[in-house]
Amino acid sequence: MDERTTGRAAGTEAPSVRLLLADDHPVVRAGLRAVLETEPGFRVVAEASSAEEAVRLAGELAPDVVLMDLQFGERMLGSEATERIASVPGGPRVLILTTYDTDTDILNAIEAGATGYLLKDAPPEELAAAVRSAAAGRTALAPAVASRLVGRMRQREAALSRRETEVLSLVAEGLSNQQISKQLFLSQATVKSHLAHIYTKLGVDSRTSAVAAATSQGIIRR
């Protein structure tokens, strides 16, 4: 709530946390820079506007923490960049900073090795605290994210197989069983079979409600 100085004295040797900002929105990068550089103990060493650039700069500059967006323009390589950066043993911690909070996004990011997951509507103090936690190696989750995680763990049924997800995606695009069977070189019976399994797993009983459920849970995008 109230502002208070950290326990450590400031004048020792300035152990600033070195940051890399990765986001495709210039405005967001400027905002993060503004918010974080006013806080003591942070130094933004570089900005990346694409996932590829983030991976490259993370390797070259070896920052302490990478603040990473999950949505980069059209392609969603944010999670992949996270994985590549986080896989380096002594490498930077990766803090995900995104607008959305779908279950699968969160899970994927954590599986990719992210140290924390923040939402962009987080207040500056929360942001700064999370970065400090990440720099120290501690996990940092936004409250909204944390509650989603436990809810997700409680009913981990909704794990569709790769094929099922593929079928459901085509359903979401509006294709009929007929069209899906042709596109995937299957019989309609198989498509129906997949759909029946999907319905059971999602607890629904129609293609449209399956799409609705999967979309709200972030299993399929768009």
Please report whether residue 144 would count as binding its own copies according to CB under 8 A.
no
Which C-beta is closer to DNA: that of 95 or that of 191?
A: 191
Interface positions, 176-215, toward DNA (CB under 7 A):
176-178, 184-190, 192-197, 199, 205-208
Q: Work out what residue 93 binds among its own copies, DNA, none; the CB cut-off runs from 5 to 8 Å by kind.
A: none
Residues 101-120 that bind its own copies (CB under 8 A): 120
Binding to DNA by CB under 7 A, coded x per residue (else -) over 129-168, reads ------------------------------x-xxxx----
Closest distance to its own copies from the beta carbon of 173 (Å) = 5
Q: Are 66 and 54 spatial neighbours (Cβ–Cβ below 8 Å)?
A: yes
Strand ranges for the chain from DSSP E: 17-22, 42-48, 65-68, 93-98, 116-119, 140-141
First to last CA, the chain: 38
The answer to whether 65 and 91 have CB atoms below 8 angstroms apart is no
Count the Cβ atoms, other than its own, within 10 Å of residue 191.
23
Q: Can you tell me the distance from the alpha carbon of 113 to that of 85, in angstroms, rounded to the nearest whole number?
A: 9
Query: In the set 89, 123, 154, 185, which binds its own copies (CB under 8 A)?
Result: 123
Is there binding between residue 184 and its own copies (CB under 8 A)? no
Which among 40-48, 121-129, 133-141, 144-152 is the span making contact with its own copies, rule CB under 8 A?
A: 121-129
d(CA 213, CA 202): 7
31 is a contact residue toward its own copies (CB under 8 A):
yes
**Pick from DNA, its own copies, none: which does 32 bind, CB < 5 to 8 A by kind?**
its own copies
Residue 200 dihedral angles phi and psi, to the nearest 5°: -60, -45
Residue 160 CB neighbours (<10 A): 21
CB of 112 to DNA, least distance (A): 20
Strand, helix or coil at 4? coil
Q: Does 169 bind its own copies (CB under 8 A)?
A: no
